[in-house]
Amino acid sequence: MIVIGNNVAGTTVAKAMRDADQAVDIDIYSEETTPYYPRPRLIDYLEGKVLEKDLPFYPLDWYQTHRLGLHLDHRAERIDRTEKRIQVQGRWELYDKLILATGSSAFVPPFLGLPKENVFTLRTLRDAKKIRELAAKSKRIIVIGGGLLGLETGRGLCSAFPELHITILESGEHLLMRQLDHEGADILQGWIEATGARVSVKAETEKILGDGSEAEGVMLKDGRRIDGDMIVISAGTRPNLQLAKDAGLKVNKGVVVDASLRTSDPDIFALGDVAEFSGQLWAMIPPALDEARIAARKILGQSSPDYSGTVPSNTLKVAGFDLTSVGTVRSLHEPPEPGIEEIRVTTADRGIYKKFVIKDGKMVGAILLGTKKEVVKVTKLIREGTPIEDIKDRLRDPSYTFN
């Protein structure tokens, strides 16, 4: 078996295959030079809470103990489906089954004025090192993108370098457009601004300013100018599709897979950020874990339930700001669809905001802001589709904690 990619999807599928079969040969090719590290830890690294040496999830000898052939700094260049082999550093390696866990890359919108040496995205340890190094010498940082990652990056840098002035620019109507509604985002923005950071919403970047190789700031479409010594763009990700496309696999937004995580080629599987299941790209860790565990058994021809999707769950990992969004909170910006009921609760001091989305007597989504006591129980209710009619009225009580 050959796995391409050594982050959470690649490592988990390799481990699950080894757990299920002691004899099978497994090789992992990774273009990164560090063994698997969870990307959320990069925020801790930016903050100075974790050293580079402590980032890897497993030490190198773990791969040896599990007889996983790990080839770091080995980019897979081509897939030859006819001969069932991949090309790596000019050599050909044969596979029985090939697993694409090539993930995604940071997306950079086509702003005028790029590229510039002091404009970054955060995806890899190499990115984090460059950001941290320059942030230590900077006074004003601009973060373009008010999603989870943009906020976590901004807060991570603020706490590592308290003298830094941070401006967060969000092109949408409010922060966390995918996780929060107006009311929740308004509360969150207030908290962030109270820490000294500036937040600008409806702030669409047009141009990165600076005549030479260095950016000096950002020009917004409405003509406003924001000065900065460095810029971090956090505008989402795009799956790494080139290998799959060149190999003629079926590709839409991602590599299209079925409920066995099989691509249009029966000997090639895809999972994690690169895979598109049922029209959906997840770009999150929990689906990668679910998919990897199912795919491992399917690849080995062992019995396994089919993959049917994952209930999304997002947590803002910023000290002091508790925010979790679980399941379907899609009716954020429009009136709820017919059959959907929304219950919103805010405490008098606006320290807690909760929203529950209910359909057919079951909770299908929730936002919990300023509280984490209920997160596990609410997530369980949503994942298990438990009927909630008997507790529905109590949801309106801000102090109700699902006991």
Ligand X SMILES: Cc1cc2nc3c(=O)[nH]c(=O)nc-3n(C[C@H](O)[C@H](O)[C@H](O)COP(=O)(O)OP(=O)(O)OC[C@H]3O[C@@H](n4cnc5c(N)ncnc54)[C@H](O)[C@@H]3O)c2cc1C
Name the site residues for ligand X (rule: CB under 6 A). 4-10, 29-32, 39-40, 42-43, 75-76, 101-104, 122-123, 149, 240, 243, 272-273, 283-286, 288, 317
CB of 16 to ligand X, least distance (A): 13
Of 335, 345, 348, 350, residue with least CA distance to 374? 345
User: Closest-CB residue for ligand X?
Assistant: 103
Cβ closest to ligand X, residue 282 vs residue 356: 282
Helix and strand counts by DSSP (H, E) for the chain: 9, 25
| Choice between 243 and 364, CB closer to ligand X | 243
State whether residue 374 is helix, strand or coil: coil
**36 or 161: CB nearest ligand X:** 36
Residue keyed to tokens 């954020």: 332
d(Cα 60, Cα 332) in Å, to the nearest integer?
44
In whole angstroms, the minimum distance from the beta carbon of 64 to ligand X comes to 20
Nearest CA to 8 out of 285, 326, 352, 322 is that of 285
Specify the 3-state DSSP secondary structure of 90: coil
Q: Work out how close the CB of 94 gets to ligand X at its nearest, in angstroms, rounded to a whole number.
A: 17
Nearer to ligand X, 233 or 388 (CB): 233
Distance CA 255, CA 282 (A): 12
DSSP H helices, 136-218, are 148-160, 182-194
Residue 100 near residue 273, CB atoms below 8 Å: no
- Return the number of other C-beta atoms located less than 10 Å from residue 396's C-beta: 12
Q: Least distance in Å: CB of 123 to ligand X? A: 5
Cβ closest to ligand X, residue 102 vs residue 118 = 102
Q: Minimal distance in Å, beta carbon 122 to ligand X?
A: 5
Nearer to ligand X by Cβ, of 176 and 288: the residue is 288
Q: Which is nearer to ligand X, 217 or 287 (CB)?
A: 287
The token duo for 42 is 């990069």
Q: What share of the chain is helix, strand, coil (3-state, %, to 5)?
A: 25, 30, 45
Q: Among 94, 65, 2, 10, which Cα is nearest to 271's?
A: 10
Q: CB of 351: closest distance to ligand X in angstroms?
A: 23
Residues in CB range of 206: below 8 A, 6 or more apart: 111, 112, 219, 220, 221
Q: Least Å distance between CB 338 and ligand X?
A: 31
